[in-house]
Amino acid sequence: MLDVLRNLLLLGALLPSASAWCAHAYAQFGDIRYPAGFSHFAYVNPDAPKGGQIAMVAPTRASSFDKYNPFTLKGTAPPGLSSLVFETLLTGNAEEPTTAYGLLAQDIALAPDKLSVIFTLNPLARFHNGEPVLAADVKHSFDKLISKEAAPQFRTYFSEVKAVTVLGERSIRFDFVRANAELPLIVGGLPVFPRSWGAGKPLDQIVTDLPIGSGPYRIGKVDFGKDVQYVRDPAYWGKDLNVRKGMYNFDRIVYRLYKDPTAQLEAFKAGEFDYIQAFIAREWARAYKGKPFDSGRLIKRELQHGNAGDFQGFMFNTRLPKFQDVRVRQAIELAMDFEWMNRQLFYNAYTRVRGYFVGSDFEAKDLPAPDELALLEPLRAQLPPGVFTQPVPLPPATSLDPASGHTLRDHLRQARDLLAQAGWTYRDGALRNAKGEAFTLQFLDDSGSMGRVVTPYAKNLEKLGFAVNYKVVDPTIFQKRVDAFDFEIISNRIHGSEAPGTELLERFGSKAASVEGSNNIIGIQDKAVDALLDRVVSAQTRPQLVAAVKALDRVLRHGHYAVPHWYGSVHRVAWRAGRFEQPSVTPRYYQPESWIQSVWWASPANLRGEP
């Protein structure tokens, strides 16, 4: 859900007044492209026709759903629900990472001391049941989301909001704990729902009540737990807004759900849905071919983008004693031979993930620069000396040339020594500690797609004496176990961000580590990390933010909390030919699924209802 909030927030001109900054938009660092009264975003077609249908596919991890409430911890909501049905005070675009324009709010006023912000709601804004969107609904939504009735991520995300006050029927003020340039964007991303939703029930008891939002779509036909259809609201209140012009053009957006990735791909080839994104290089090279592609019925493309690279890796559950020694984690990392995998499994399609902010301005490099040192020096006593004296750690790389000194054998020798230093040595047929306990590793997966990666990796780990188990479970069970931190090692992907901020508290902060369902999957509890997170969220300028996130990246990488995977520099997507048209301008920052469903439109044949 927090990823959805970040995507909704990407965007605004600030106009000075005697008492506050007040305008149609807000920019964290003052960089605003579109003036008041702009007609539409540059990457949309304002004259795109409305109508037709697009059928999407949910990722196999979302192979089922059992509720209509995306804001609670238990259960799984349908894909697309948050972004298509619910709206926020401000909305972002795909060009400006730290600027947001009015959506439910028609203007925003920031106090001179930056300790509060006032939103004035658009009088046209309506929920799907016809009720006006009022300030009392905004406060109700906030109060519910920070309560224990909602998923815990919201409490962390909105933790620096001190108070919310209704000033009038359509005017509401948010007061902040401290001045933080990101906070107006944070509260601007608050999803709003009416007080009438659920008829007074606690939020966590609103399960199958149809959602009441204010967005361009409502839930339509549903095969509960399997497929879901969203129907465009012809009376959508915001259809003529400049931030919505040329957007959400399909009459129907359908999501098909499949439990098996092979069945999913075969269903796409058979025409059961229109669009798919490939994440596995081998499948892209070998399975996305054949008559449907040769005939031109299906189109296969690698789309360029300017997104920061995603972080993906095998994440350790450091709450477990056996993973609490950094030398153990580093030894396990040394056993992965990415270069061999890239040649043999990935068709040399990937680049190795280096850190948590790879391919962005926030990636730490070499030795710390003066702006980083200014943040790290006060923490010197809490940090390993290598943070100051050694270049930022890079994942171990192997070479085909034994003379290079960087072979897998060299890395395994180094890993053996690190394990011995940590008290683990090979004897009696296993890697054991002083008590004689064997070191076991379990890789937990929800689809089986990581099996071909874990198999060769396990062979390397077994050479060190680890007993390795690879376990595949149902996606629903997998999510429950992750939420309860009942795992040893999992593969996880975190979308890259051009403007990292408060969401990092939920991902790396100590408070989130013990909260069930939090995004601090690794369980990091480190005072130095917390101090750097504090500098991240308090940054007042872009250079301050860059320095703080680089320092954070450096410290996290010295902690070896994950075994870095790989990332691709393009979006690999395929879609049915002749069904869609798209704008001539492609934005710089985008995810294919949300870009396609928000700005593409139906072809004439699609509009006529032809298959």
Distance CA 385, CA 365 (A): 17
Residue type, 525: Q
Q: CB within 8 A of 534, min separation 6: which ones? A: none
Distance CA 328, CA 419 (A): 6
**What are the DSSP calls for 393-415, one per residue?**
P------S-GGGS--HHHHHHHH
Q: CB count, 10 Å around CB of 130?
A: 8
Phi and psi for 382 in degrees, rounded to 5?
-95, -5
Q: CB count, 10 Å around CB of 221?
A: 11
Domains in the chain, ordered, with CATH? 2-246 (3.40.190.10), 311-416+475-487+500-567 (3.10.105.10)
pLDDT tens digits, 255-291:
999 988 889 999 999 999 999 999 888 889 999 999 9
pLDDT the model gives residue 225: 84
Q: Which residues share a beta bridge with 230? A: 219, 253
pLDDT the model gives residue 496: 87
Q: Which residues of the chain have pLDDT under 50?
A: 1-20
Distance CA 378, CA 363 (A): 21
Plot region of 366 (φ>0 → left; ψ -120 to 50 → alpha; else → beta): left
pLDDT the model gives residue 30: 78
pLDDT tens digits, 29-82:
878 899 999 999 999 999 999 999 999 998 766 778 999 999 999 999 999 999
pLDDT the model gives residue 15: 32
pTM of the model: 0.87
Q: CB within 8 A of 443, min separation 6: which ones? A: 314, 450, 454, 458, 468, 469, 470, 471, 488, 489, 490, 491
Contact (CB, 8 A) for 91 and 11:
yes
Number of H helices, E strands in the chain: 21, 29
Six-digit token string for 219: 């839930």
Contact (CB, 8 A) for 580 and 274:
yes
pLDDT the model gives residue 22: 59
